């Protein structure tokens, strides 16, 4: 507890003398906490994750329904930081299917896994391209669509950055439009010629936008409950 005393200021041992509102007080000096190397590395990694997360969000803008949401921004950077842990970026080896980012939801109110029953297959070809494969499916059976929905736009974006340097890489958007009917779609396969140099952090995001029929027109639905956007693949080279 601070006490009133004669006029004096400064620090003696672990005691601090100070003046506030015209009165003199004394309190114990805060204890210094010695941070371990692991703690220091984790703090540095949080900065790296924040910068990389911001770069990726900018490149993934078209697939993120509410890009200015602060909570989402923090959660995304936090997921990257959690994956990095207390490892130096130079010591992180190549990794596929990064668990900390698996099914990351950019919109808490909706989920790709619940809105679309199909799981795209992401792989790397012998030629060094990223391959996205969508099996054949029946739209009316596989989309959890809102009432009066007539079509769905599936947005897939793969984006990359250099993790250590926090520099932008490349971004490849792909859009498929599906009418909500009972006709089976054909299998779709796209090869993306994205660079996979050492130090590259890459994520693929999938989002959905439904179009609904109103009295006067067909409009894109902006209801958060039907705007899923999720990470479907994350890897490090």
Whether residue 102 contacts residue 233, with contact meaning beta carbons closer than 8 Å, is answered with: no
CB 37 within 8 A of CB 45: no
Give me the residue spans of the domains in the chain.
1-32, 37-236
b vs e for 153-163, b when ≥16 Cβ sit within 10 Å of the residue's Cβ? ebbbbbbbbbb
pLDDT score recorded for residue 147: 93
Per-residue pLDDT tens for 98-120? Answer: 999 999 999 999 999 999 999 99
65, with CB counted inside 10 A (0-12, 13-18, 19+), is buried
> pLDDT band at residue 42, thresholds of 50, 70 and 90?
confident
* pTM to 2 decimal places: 0.82
Q: What is the pLDDT of residues 168-223, one digit of tens each?
A: 999 999 999 999 999 999 999 999 999 999 999 999 999 999 999 988 899 999 99
Percent of the chain with pLDDT over 90: 76
Percent of the chain residues topping a pLDDT of 70: 84
**What would the mean pLDDT of 82-96 be, rounded to a whole number?**
91
- Give the pLDDT score at 132: 98
Whose tokens are 């993790």? That residue is 163
Residue 220's Cα: distance from chain center in Å?
24
**How would you class 131 by CB atoms within 10 Å of its CB: exposed for 0-12, middle for 13-18, buried for 19 or more?**
middle
Which residue did the predictor score with more confidence, 167 or 8? Answer: 167
pLDDT of 123 > 60? The answer is yes
Residue 230 neighbours by CB under 8 Å, 6+ apart: 103, 104, 105, 106, 111, 112, 113, 205, 206, 207
CA atoms within 13 A on the CB side of 26: 11
Poorest-pLDDT segment among 9-23, 52-66, 126-140: 9-23
Q: How far apart are the first and last CA of the chain?
A: 55
pLDDT of residue 5 exceeding 60:
no
Which comes out higher in pLDDT, residue 141 or 90?
Answer: 141
Q: Which of 17-21, 68-72, 112-116, 152-156 has the lowest mean pLDDT?
A: 17-21
Listed range (39-53, 157-171, 185-199) with the worst mean pLDDT: 39-53
8 has a pLDDT exceeding 70: no
Contact by Cβ (8 Å): 75, 33:
no
| Distance from C-alpha of 198 to C-alpha of 89, rounded to nearest angstrom | 11
Contact 192, 172 (CB under 8 A): yes
């Amino acid at each position: 507890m601070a006490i009133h005393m004669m006029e004096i200021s400064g620090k003696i041992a672990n005691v601090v003398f100070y003046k506030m509102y015209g009165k003199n007080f004394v309190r114990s000096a805060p204890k210094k906490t010695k941070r371990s190397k692991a703690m220091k590395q984790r703090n540095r990694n949080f900065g790296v994750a924040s910068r990389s997360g911001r770069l990726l969000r900018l490149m993934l803008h078209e697939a993120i329904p509410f890009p200015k949401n602060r909570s989402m921004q923090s959660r995304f950077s936090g997921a990257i930081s959690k994956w990095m842990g207390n490892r130096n970026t130079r010591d992180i080896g190549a990794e596929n299917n990064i668990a900390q980012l698996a099914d990351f939801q950019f919109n808490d109110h909706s989920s790709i896994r619940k809105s679309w029953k199909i799981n795209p297959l992401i792989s790397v070809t012998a030629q060094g391209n990223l391959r996205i494969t969508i099996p054949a499916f029946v739209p009316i059976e596989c989309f959890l669509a809102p009432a009066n929905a007539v079509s769905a736009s599936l947005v897939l974006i793969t984006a990359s950055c250099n993790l250590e340097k926090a520099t932008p890489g490349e971004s490849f958007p792909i859009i498929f439009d599906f009418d909500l009917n009972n006709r089976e779609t054909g299998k779709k396969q796209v090869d993306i010629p994205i660079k996979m140099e050492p130090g590259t952090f890459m994520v693929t995001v999938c989002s959905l936008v439904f179009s609904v029929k109103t009295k006067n027109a067909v409009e894109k639905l902006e209801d958060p409950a039907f705007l899923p956007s999720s990470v479907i693949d994350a890897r490090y080279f």
